[in-house]
Chain A
Amino acid sequence: MSVIVSSLEQRIRADNLKESPLSTQEYFVNMGPQHPSTHGVLRMVVKLDGETVREVIPVLGYIHRGIEKMGESFGYRQFVHMTDRIDYLSALINNWAVSMTVEKAAKIELNDRIQIIRTIMAELQRIQSHQLWWGVFGMDMGAFTPFLYGFRDREIITDIFEETIGARLTMNYIQPGGLMFDIHPNFQKRVKDFLKYFKPKLEEYETLLSGNVILQERVRNVGIMDAKTAISIGATGPVLRASGVKHDLRKLDPYGVYDKVDFDVPVGRIGDCWDRYWVRIEEIKQSMRIVEQLIDNIPEGKTMLMKPAVKIKLPEGTYYSQVETPRGVLGVFVVSDGKDKPYRIHLRTPNFNNIWSITEMSSNWRLGDLVAMLSSLDVVVPDIDR
């Protein structure tokens, strides 16, 4: 696959010269930065021929906040709380990524209690993120009700987080060396209640959207991306798995206690929107399985192994670690010069790569399909721009 790099101006100029046999005129519309289905401030320049999408050019940078640069003036402990804000729907998993890098560099062995609590929290976060995605997907398809149902059920997980962590979205819970607090005494009971509550609700989800013929027709065979393209773009997470690639860091590069729990990895068949939809729904089920296996087996132990008041200094060198967030692979690359602040931090965020698949799959589909495809990518815009 060759990549043609051309600027926006060049492309606009080239196409006005083209003559169409029906003497129709292609036109450009700006989808975003303010548009209900770009989920934030993503801008896409869409070339349309009537209703048909000819080309999509994502324009990024509307919510760039320089988090990587800010990391250079923070200590490691302080930087963790910034990662809540890159992909706000997987705050805990992002925290974990940075903490893991620091622990790897400082050579800290964690006890089982920390690892299991982290894993449970991460899986709850994954369920919560997919619930929200499901609701938003329904809304992008024109059904408003799933949005409310998704949020209603997500609220229960957020309450669980709130009880233990004290925050609902920007949690800053997983710290280098352990956890900020021990779990709340009610935590296990609440999680079990949630699992009991959510199983029938998930069936409802399946009836309301997955089984609905209108939705099936909207997503079936729409926006197909084959495995080769997905890999060459660097797509990860459900987007890559839906294209049929068996890639899940929880299996390939296990962290936490993922190597000790039993779960399956859903993969897609051809990589259309339906596969991406189904993979996420199935991931909710698998995450629930993981939580079920772990929730009764939390051993005793300390929850913080580093002294919080002492500044973390990493030995000179470069460190990298990666985790599987609900949207794909989040890699944290740290260059340390031996001081208490990183020399450079780079974040390899999943959405930055995933978003480009829209340029590959969208041509010659309708405008409505573009919304479906974008929604099936599950884009979180601050994660693209950092």
Chain B
Amino acid sequence: MNWEIKTVAMFASEALREGYLGAAGYIILGVVAIAGFLAVLGMVLIYAERKVAGHFQCRLGPMRVGWHGVLQTVADTIKLFLKEDIVPFQADKVLHILAPLFTLLGTLLVLAVVPFSPGMQVADVNIGVVYVTAVGGFGVLGILLGGWSSNNKWSLVGAMRAGAQIISYEVSATLALLVVVLFSGSLKLSDIILSQEQGWWIWRAPVVGLVGFVIFFIASTAEINRTPFDLPEGESELTAGFHTEYSGMRFAFFFLAEFINMFIISAIAATLYLGGWMPFHIGGLDGFNAVMDLLPPGAWFAGKTSFLIFVLMWFRWTFPRLRVDQLMRLEWKILLPIGFVNLIAAAFMVMFGWYYGN
């Protein structure tokens, strides 16, 4: 089956031959689409998290606003918009105000390359994986600035924890990404998806794929500060960590970024290891593959991503939090060595062609 990759960026460049106006239109379309998607996705995820958490804990979750509380997040957003934006006494005002925007910007930029389906992607950069890693690391800047500028010791401790944690775990996450890059031979996200037409890397690369996936998932969970790695917020230790002093919309930005990050890492993990929008294919079985193609690629992407998001929520509502030194030990003494061994093993497997569908 031939998949035709269409992106907003492509349309824009085609339109550029005709004139600037059309290209500008496409760019605005891309930005508006992402911004709209961001807002809607944030609300949906927050609602889902609260509902799932409720049922994990023998509760019902939101039930009052709208049918089964579906409008609860809308009400909360309106409330947050209307709340007073408090800047603490003697805080660094400029940084305090900018910090949430930095965090949100990081997540927004990554969304631009996420391939939702063959015809739905804003830009298909040829160094997609590098872009994701680079821009994804931008979020830590906002957290550090926010913690520093708040003029609060708790915030500062939270921010420093976040800095140490995110930078450490990025190493492991990147090593795990490289495994797939080795197998697919490309850094472009659409190429990586197309390379999984005969099967997903999680099972086509025996053991190595699974180990890489687990490492990436754990490291990314730590990168986005979710339980069991929620030390930067750690509400029982640091009251609220780096966003202790934030209120109203600026708090909402941090909150939104956290949830969108959850979507992003699930989407990237799905793209790299679970074939992204690619239906479940087994090389050679054409009849089976044709049946699988009946579902549109967008649905496959949504399914895989929401499953991974659910697993993240499942983690969060089951596990206690690690301690700060254990967190570092997990990264540098366990994940990193395994990641390196895994990467070397992957290199050998690619060299000798020891994987399915070769």
Direct touch of chains A and B (CB < 8 A): yes
User: A139 on the interface (CB 8 Å rule)?
Assistant: yes
Residue pair A138, B320 in contact (C-beta under 8 Å)? yes
Q: Is the CB of A143 within 8 A of B320?
A: yes
Contact B57 A368 (CB under 8 A): no
State in angstroms the CA–CA spacing of A148 and B59 once bound together: 8
Main SS at interface, chain A? helix
A202 within 8 A of partner (CB): no
Cα–Cα, bound, A374→B239 (Å): 15
A51 at the interface (CB under 8 A from B): yes
Number of B residues near A (Cβ < 8 Å) is 30
Chain B residues 104 to 161 lying within 8 A of chain A, measured CB to CB, are 153-154, 157, 160-161
Query: Is B236 interfacial (CB 8 A cutoff)?
Result: yes
Please report B residues at the A interface, Cβ cutoff 8 Å: 53, 56-59, 153-154, 157, 160-161, 227-228, 230-231, 234-239, 317-326
In the assembly, what is the distance between CA of A186 and CA of B320, in Å?
A: 39
Question: Whole-angstrom distance between the alpha carbons of A368 and B325 in the complex?
Answer: 10
**Residue numbers in B under 8 Å from A149 (CB-CB):** 57-58
Task: Kindly identify, within residues 185 to 231 of chain A, every residue whose CB is under 8 Å from any CB belonging to chain B.
Answer: 208-209, 212, 214-215, 217-218
For residue A36, CB closer than 8 A to chain B, the reply is: yes
CB-CB nearest 7 A-B residue pairs: A142-B321, A141-B320, A148-B57, A143-B320, A37-B236, A368-B323, A140-B236
Cβ of A144: which chain B residues have Cβ within 8 Å of it? 53, 57, 317
Give 9 A-B pairs besides A29-B157, A141-B320, A214-B320 with Cβ atoms closer than 8 angstroms. A36-B235, A138-B320, A142-B227, A143-B318, A143-B319, A209-B320, A214-B319, A218-B321, A367-B237
Are A218 and B237 in touch, CB under 8 angstroms? Answer: no
A141 engages B236 (CB within 8 Å)? yes
Decide yes or no whether A145 CB sits under 8 A from chain B: yes
Asked if A311 is at the interface (CB within 8 A of a chain B CB), the reply is no
Set of chain A residues within 8 Å of B325, measured between Cβ atoms = 51, 366
Complex Cα spacing A143 to B239, Å: 15
Task: Give every chain A residue within 8 A of B234 (Cβ-Cβ).
Answer: 142, 368
How near does chain B come to A319, taking the closest CB pair, in angstroms?
A: 42
In whole Å, how far is B223's beta carbon from the nearest beta carbon of chain A?
17
Check A215/B57 contact, CB under 8 A, given A29-B153, A37-B236, A371-B237: no
Cβ contact within 8 Å between B236 and A36: yes
A218 and B323 contact, Cβ closer than 8 Å, known pairs A208-B318, A367-B237: yes
Chain A residues with CB under 8 A of B326: 217-218
List 12 contacting pairs A-B, 8 Å CB cutoff, sorted by A.
A29-B157, A36-B239, A50-B160, A51-B325, A139-B236, A142-B228, A214-B319, A217-B322, A218-B320, A218-B326, A367-B238, A371-B236
Measured CB to CB, the closest approach of chain B to A50, in angstroms, equals: 8
Min CB gap B153→A, angstroms:
5
Of B58, B160, B231, B235, the contact of A368 (CB 8 Å cutoff): B231
Q: Are B321 and A143 in contact (CB under 8 A)?
A: yes
The reply to whether A142 and B320 form a contact with Cβ atoms under 8 Å apart is yes
Contacts of B160 in A (CB 8 A): 50
Q: Is A84 an interface residue (CB 8 A)?
A: no
Closest to A209 in B: B320
Q: Chain B residues with Cβ under 8 A from A148's Cβ? A: 57-59
Chain B residues whose C-beta falls within 8 Å of the C-beta of A138 in the assembled complex? 320
Given contacts A142-B227, A149-B58, contact A369 B153 (CB under 8 A): no
Bound complex: CA A314 to CA B152 (Å): 56
User: What is the CB-to-nearest-CB distance from A134 to chain B, in angstroms, rounded to a whole number?
Assistant: 12
Residues from chain B with a CB closer than 8 A to the CB of A368 are 231, 234, 237, 321, 323-324
